[in-house]
Structure 1
């Protein structure tokens, strides 16, 4: 099966069926290509439904998921479309979107539990927030030296995805750094942090993808990938600054982390002062409510089952998408295109956010919970 050819990729108007290209690479491998280049392969409801349908109905031994173009694997959830539907009082779109999103994660999880099934994620370019959910249960997560992954949800007033997975990673101080500041990790930083498994140089990615067509013995997949991987020469930023990230972002108390960063502004070392100033600036530009809620979700997720984590993520996303912080952020950043001006969040800082307000966002919904089939 194949989708539309490259001459049609630049069209501004999209047809729902063109948003994902399904390619049968050989009798064993199928590739799903996110095909919204103009939207940086953002995930809208139709994309999610196509992906779910393909995973449920197509026979394969290995599934490859990639993004069209060199700029982005996926810009995450299509928050502009969500915002536009909410402005039109179309709340059903958000409900359907969230259900499709977590159904997709559930199907990918089921796929990972089948002994003779494999999935390969190729992070070509940038991967933002919810786009990473496609890689949660992948056997092989491949990035390049230019791949960047970040979780900017707090900066947009929304909820971070993949909370169970993120809470399971060993270097939690790096995860806290990412979700509080919205900062990106790049290249071999991603492997170091546990967000990717392999690095294939960007000049070999096309060759690698083409070579998969000739791979008929899936048991040799790992060996095949290793033929193309290479250790990058440049030291990663995360290694250079890990001591600072660990120093200031370790711990389970958000206010203590913020206090350490404030104190770091008075450190004698220039490196500390500059690092703390940069981090605090990013945190202060984020939604205080989202900062509090996202930090607490990560703490809770470690003790939750997969189903409980799905439900928690679902209800927090639902509430924060309906909150005025999210709608104000999208209005300022995307409708007015004023990304450098401060957003008028409901709260001035995290100290104004009460525990009761956080608990309300985290509490069970009064509408039916997400049902996964």
Structure 2
């Protein structure tokens, strides 16, 4: 994390030596991403990709709490309340379209992209960091995809990352929606290197003049333990089930306190979000690339706007903060296959278009 500068722009941008530095700069909102920030990040990447004097890009967050706590879903909720569902849906679709383009560009960026994943890195924060080529966590890192808690689904390429975690660890993280510490982030493939937070100032100084990979390798140390590594047996067995109902049954029957606790956590999430999330992860495993998964996520995210659970989840968690959402349908058994399939339906004329598709490159 870096201190906020005098500039009140939501994304700070400067070049020092051979490194371009991007700082997400909404510390009071935990650097949550809005449309302006997404466009600013992509513009910087396009500029620096073409600039031979910039050899590395470094992403940090202002303040002392985290890199980024996600997309600004409160703004989506406010739009729905003030502008109506149709106008809000159009705005949200434009935001996600550009955000997912940015995620794809980060993954394809031809120069080292160093993401300093210090503190909270949630939802959209994962999308702006975990697709980078050099992903650094510290002892303060908490990394996760919390979407099912607000009646939504992992997006920003999160279903791609989680579907490729070892065994069923990604399914566990997606359905429980909880963050993990640095050891588990490394285990699950969400990060590459552990650097103590006290070494970050040296890292940020050195990458301006030295190759990023060499700097990180020099400062990286052994990560803290990964608790999920010891839970693989019950996680892999329980989450390999075909449906949410069977996953919950297996968790209850596992005879492991942690499994029972996971079932308690999952049982209060949006049933629709749980079922769509599980389907998205299973399908993402079969898709060959991040680009393909992002296209799927765009369909699903836009479809979820029409599901009442998203607005209700944001209300309960972020607006009224009563933590007591009323989901509709109320149970997994009431969510039909048709309800799930509807979220994956093609949207002719309204699909995700990635930057390189227009010029025919792959």
| Fold-level similarity (TM above 0.5) | yes
The aligned length equals 344
**1:1-373 equivalences in 2 (<5 Å):** 6=4, 8=6, 18-26=9-17, 28-58=18-48, 59=51, 60-87=54-81, 88-89=83-84, 90-91=87-88, 92-111=90-109, 114=110, 117-161=111-155, 162-163=157-158, 165-166=160-161, 169-215=164-210, 218=211, 221-232=212-223, 234-264=224-254, 267=255, 272=256, 274-306=257-289, 307-339=291-323, 342-365=324-347, 367-373=349-355
Q: Compute the displacement of 1:163 (Å).
A: 4.7
SS, match of residue 121 in structure 1: strand
Q: Compute the displacement of 1:121 (Å).
A: 0.7
Once the two structures are superposed, residues 244-277 of structure 1 have per-residue CA deviations (whole angstroms, 9 ceiling, x without a partner) of: 323432344433322201223xx3xxxx1x2133
Q: 126-135 or 353-362: which moved more?
A: 126-135
Cα distance in 1, alignment partners of residues 268 and 163 from structure 2: 27
CA contact (8 A) 1:22 1:32 kept: yes
SS, match of residue 227 in structure 1: helix
Alpha carbons of structure 1 residues 258 and 325: separation in structure 2 relative to 1, 3 Å: same
SS, match of residue 32 in structure 1: strand
Q: Which residue of structure 1 aligns with residue 358 of structure 2?
A: none
Q: Compute the displacement of 1:305 (Å).
A: 4.1
Cα distance in 2, alignment partners of residues 163 and 190 from structure 1: 13
- Deviating above 4 A after TM superposition, structure 1's stretches of 4 or more consecutive aligned residues are none
Cα distance in 1, alignment partners of residues 194 and 3 from structure 2: 28
Cα distance in 2, alignment partners of residues 193 and 109 from structure 1: 17
Cα distance in 1, alignment partners of residues 268 and 3 from structure 2: 41
Cα distance in 2, alignment partners of residues 303 and 235 from structure 1: 31
Q: Compute the displacement of 1:81 (Å).
A: 0.6
Unaligned runs of 5+ in 1: 10-14
CA contact (8 A) 2:185 2:191 kept: yes
Cα distance in 2, alignment partners of residues 258 and 7 from structure 1: 47
CA RMSD of aligned residues (A): 2.1
CA contact (8 A) 1:142 1:196 kept: yes
CA contact (8 A) 2:4 2:25 kept: no
Cα distance in 1, alignment partners of residues 226 and 162 from structure 2: 23
Q: Compute the displacement of 1:71 (Å).
A: 0.8
Unaligned runs of 5+ in 2: 356-362
Cα distance in 2, alignment partners of residues 20 and 323 from structure 1: 32
Q: Which residue of structure 1 aligns with residue 359 of structure 2?
A: none
